[in-house]
Amino acid sequence: MCRRRTTSRFIKKLLAAHDCDEIDSLDEEHFVQGAIQLALAHNADDFLPEIIGYNLGYEQLPLHLLISGYELNELGIDPYYFTLHVTIDNADNGHARKAIAAIPQLAPSIADSGEYTRRILDGYRLNELGASTLSVIADFDLESELLSILAAKSAFGKNMHSDYCRVAGRSINDWLSQAADIPDFLAALVKEGWIRRGEPAANSRFWQLMQGPRAAMFGVFSAYELQVLEDWITLPAGPARVMPHRAQMRMLDRLANDAPSRPTTPRKLIRQHGAESASESNALRLLEERIGAAPDKTAAMQELVPLLAPHLHFAPLGLMATRLYSRLLDA
């Protein structure tokens, strides 16, 4: 019980630090695991084998936990909750070991050993229900998340703008009056030049309404919502381009040499985008052109691989290479 309370405090602190503690909009899949734990705890006398099996799966150290801790640290997000469980759940003398030891220790209290084993396996499989770390990551779509955020904001903003505030001939209040119009509204913001995709967010007039010395909409978006908006703006629009090959490997070497050997921005809870130097911005543009000129998907991915190395991955060039590689992998 003490461990669960401690874990809960770590999670709440981590979520609150990034304005991610609003859970009302989450669907039921995100609460399945919590409901399972409460149900098992409330009926412990009747479901002891299932609890043993569930705990066995819950306490094992998954690979994604190691990856999460490493990548969160790269992004400047406190990984302590994850790194803590890497150590306390270790299979030598940690909770993973104790979960395994509980199986034979509690077996004598169950008359039918075969039934005991079957129920343990059923309990173990309960860990697979509901949303998981991997399924949440796989199902996340940046643009869909942004559209959901804007649709939620529209309920409060549809009567807050003056009639002279217009985009593509329509007032902002009109655009926001119907949540179904939000995708077209976002597209109109791009077309009218309010949002400049593939550039630092600070270059977009729409972003300047949220952040800056004279931001008229300061405070309307939470830190998490601003991060989603910023990431969407800075991500180049459209699928990765595949065109005839024209570049040589020395261009890739030049791009790699332009990347800084260590982070050039101060470590924050969430590292801010859009602060690249002129040389970094030029390197990013050249990388996009190079990959777009690759003869096929395989060649493009092979040219990105050197930029995924640990000494480059954290830098703007490496992060862009990672995004391009991921998009090509899913294409």
**Which string of DSSP letters, residue by residue, matches 170-220?**
EEHHHHHT-GGGHHHHHHHHHHTTSS-TTS-GGG-HHHHTTSSTT-TTTTS
Overall domain count for the chain: 3
Lookup: tokens for 51: 């609890």
- 201 and 133: one domain? no
Residue 172 in this model has a pLDDT that exceeds 90: yes
Does 109 map to a domain?
yes
What local confidence, expressed as pLDDT, does residue 265 receive?
Answer: 39
Does 239 map to a domain?
no
- 15 and 80: one domain? yes
248-265 average pLDDT score: 41
CA 86 to CA 329: how far, in whole Å?
29
Identify residue 67 by its one-letter amino acid code.
Answer: I
CA 197 to CA 210: how far, in whole Å?
16
- 6 and 120: one domain? yes
State which of 117, 138, 159 marks the end of a domain: 138
Residue 142 in this model has a pLDDT that exceeds 80: yes
SS3 label, residue 166: strand
51-58 average pLDDT score: 94
Q: What values do phi and psi take at 243, rounded to 5?
A: -130, 175
What local confidence, expressed as pLDDT, does residue 228 receive?
Answer: 93
8 A C-beta contact, residue 259 and residue 283: yes
Instruction: Tell me the sheet residues that pair with 170.
Output: 167
What local confidence, expressed as pLDDT, does residue 75 receive?
Answer: 79
How confident is the model over 72-114, as pLDDT tens digits? 888 788 888 788 888 888 888 888 899 999 999 888 766 677 8
> In the chain, what percentage of residues exceed pLDDT 90?
33
Does 24 map to a domain?
yes
**CB neighbour burial string for 223-253, b if at least 16 within 10 angstroms, e if fewer:** ebbbbbbbebbbbbeeebebeeeeeeeebbe
Closest to 126 measured CA to CA, from 66, 38, 64: 38
Neighbouring C-alpha atoms within 13 Å toward the C-beta of 114: 0
Lookup: tokens for 180: 């179904």
DSSP designation for 274: S
CB atoms within 10 A of CB 266: 9
- 146 and 219: one domain? yes
261-268 average pLDDT score: 38
How confident is the model over 56-75, as pLDDT tens digits? 999 988 777 888 888 888 87
Q: What values do phi and psi take at 297, rounded to 5?
A: -60, -45
- 158 and 285: one domain? no
Q: What is the largest CA-CA distance in the chain?
A: 78
8 A C-beta contact, residue 58 and residue 79: no
Does 241 map to a domain?
no
Q: What is the chain's mean pLDDT, rounded?
A: 80
46-50 average pLDDT score: 94
- 6 and 46: one domain? yes
| The overall pTM is greater than 0.95 | no
8 A C-beta contact, residue 19 and residue 224: yes
- 9 and 124: one domain? yes
State which of 138, 159, 185 marks the end of a domain: 138
Q: What values do phi and psi take at 135, rounded to 5?
A: -70, -35
How confident is the model over 219-255, as pLDDT tens digits? 899 888 999 999 999 988 764 443 333 333 433 444 4
Query: Could you tell me the residue range of the domain that residue 124 belongs to?
Result: 2-138
What local confidence, expressed as pLDDT, does residue 77 receive?
Answer: 84
Residue 214 in this model has a pLDDT that exceeds 50: yes
- 256 and 323: one domain? yes
> In the chain, what percentage of residues exceed pLDDT 70?
83
Residue 290 in this model has a pLDDT that exceeds 90: no
